Structure 1
């Protein structure tokens, strides 16, 4: 009898899914991707993205690994873009120890400085 597959995560982007899939497979968990090809078309929202599935016996362990990776929140809903910004900027020296709000405004100031510099270079 074939074992039931459980969807442990849903992705809109193949690189994100590939990262999680690689991690699970490196831990010895066999993975399957449902709707992978449809997700590369314009109608990917209609199918709800790519579904990363594992065997039912591996589902709990796989979900725990995905949670430890920080790809999703504990409730299972996707991390917001600000959450992704938080994960990325947390690793930057000098900024990593600051609060998310301070990092966000520091990033905006940095962008303003760069754009001002580019503008001045084009005008002069």
Structure 2
């Protein structure tokens, strides 16, 4: 009976060793799968982040270009207003000077 018990114990130990090996192999496989999944998710997150970053950069670039165009338009408009005002004041000064000269000539002639 002792041999039978020893044989049963040996079988149980062998079964336990095989079970532990299988569990160890499964554990390695699952660990490898988790690492692969984490790597894939990391790559996916990186790609999505790049897309959002590129989109944000493009939007900022477009906003910058629009701002520059608006500033150019406003500058041109202001420049035209200043030129018109300068021209108007120049004409008014010219007309006043001509009138003054004519008035002086009239005074001299009527004199």
**TM-score category (smaller protein):** under 0.3
Larger RCO (CA within 8 A; separation ≥ 6): 1
Q: Could you say which structure has the higher helix fraction?
A: 2
TM-score, normalization: structure 2? 0.21
